[in-house]
Amino acid sequence: MLTTRPATLDDAALITTHRRAMFAEIGKSKPEALDTMSLHFRPWVERMIVAGKYVGWIVEDGGKPVASAGFFELEWPPHPLDPAGEARGYLLNFWVEPSHRRRGLARELVKMAIAESRRRGFRVSTLHASDAGRPVYESVGFRGSGEMFFAEKDSSS
């Protein structure tokens, strides 16, 4: 039976494993970069859970984790879409084990994360979609933002 529970500090390693698996599947990062990221992400997420800025959800099938997702409170300047707000929700670390895909788990996790954003009074939520994830996010009402990024070239990533 599938159950969903909030993540605790004890889940920091699992969340890190899922984050790494997500980026590995996207296929743009070198293993060394993913190793370094994992090393630094675990204590980061522990600190953010303690600070109340990261909220996670773990989906289990018969007690075994099969999916998870996270919400992060992102500091943001007052913006026309939330003109009195100073933060937005950032959705991250969406991962569903291959054995449990195409059952709507990601969609349910997105809805829980949007609900968390609302609970905190934020009017905007953002995320970075992989090509595979985009249709799920679109179905819930997400659309492209026009964000651009610049990354230094001589990284190990």
- Nearest-10 crossing angle of helices 12-26, 31-50: 140
Assigned token pair, 136 = 């799920």
Q: Does 17 bind a copy of itself (CB under 8 A)?
A: no
The answer to whether the beta carbons of residues 120 and 89 sit under 8 Å apart is: yes
Which of 7, 11, 49, 72 binds a copy of itself (CB under 8 A)? It is: 72
Own/partner contacts of 22-25, CB < 8 Å, gap of 24 or more, are 22/93, 22/94, 22/95, 22/130, 25/130
Which of 45, 67, 69, 109 binds a copy of itself (CB under 8 A)? It is: 45
- Classify the phi-psi angles of 93: left when phi > 0, otherwise alpha if psi is within -120 to 50, otherwise beta: left
Residues 87-106 that bind a copy of itself (CB under 8 A): 92
The answer to whether the beta carbons of residues 153 and 111 sit under 8 Å apart is: no
Q: Least distance (Å) from a copy of itself to the CB of residue 87?
A: 11
User: Residue 74 or residue 100: which is nearer to a copy of itself going by CB?
Assistant: 74
CA distance 142 to 123: 13
Stretch that binds a copy of itself, among 6-14, 60-68, 101-109, 129-137 (CB under 8 A): 129-137
Which of 100, 103, 108, 126 binds a copy of itself (CB under 8 A)? It is: 126
State the number of binding residues for a copy of itself (CB under 8 A): 57
Binding site for a copy of itself (CB under 8 A): 23, 28-29, 33-37, 39-41, 44-45, 48, 72, 74-75, 77-86, 92, 114, 118, 123-130, 134, 137-138, 140-152, 155-157
